[in-house]
Structure 1
């Protein structure tokens, strides 16, 4: 399994359009083959910070995601917002054990 997670920090004026953009992206992405989980979360202590969390069956599914039209639309929309910083990482795991 592949996990992608991280944060995107925005200017306060970019929060509302980012929420709309992220909602559309998440909804479209969850329908992709190999997508196990895909969501954005807004930080309750810092509303200008969004966390992304994704789970993919494998690297091939993640790479196919990058080629989707909704990914291009998301990147185009994000380029129009004032992004102050981003820190997104990818990890491969053999799976999780229930606690």
Structure 2
């Protein structure tokens, strides 16, 4: 079963550019992962510094691989001090 992730990420004030850089760096290796079907970053037009990832994976195994990948773990560590909000939703198509 395909799994969709949406992640709403809001930077701490003054950390927007640093968060954008960290997000940009995690995209290329994530898109290369086996089982990653879509990995797209958006930024809010109305609230700069608020980002939304739309991700789609073939199955739970592919998502687990992503979550445990070295590049994603490095991003998470770097983002700890950059994020004011991190809301992640695991979704399935209905």
TM-score, L = length of structure 1? 0.87
Give the 5 Å matches for 1:1-99.
Answer: 1-81=2-82, 83-93=83-93
Q: Structure 2: any 5+ residue segments left out of the alignment?
A: none
Q: Structure 1: any 5+ residue segments left out of the alignment?
A: 95-99
Structure 1 position 30, deviation (Å): 0.1
Question: C-alpha distance in 2, partners of 1:87/1:45?
Answer: 18
TM-score, L = length of structure 2? 0.91
Question: C-alpha distance in 2, partners of 1:2/1:20?
Answer: 26
Aligned residue pairs, count: 93
Q: Which has the larger radius of gyration?
A: 1
For residues 7-60 of structure 1, the C-alpha deviation after alignment (integer angstroms, 9 at most, x for no partner) is 111123111111111011111100000000112211011002110110000110
For residues 54-96 of structure 1, the C-alpha deviation after alignment (integer angstroms, 9 at most, x for no partner) is 0000110000111111011101110131x222211001237xx
CA RMSD for the aligned pairs? 1.3
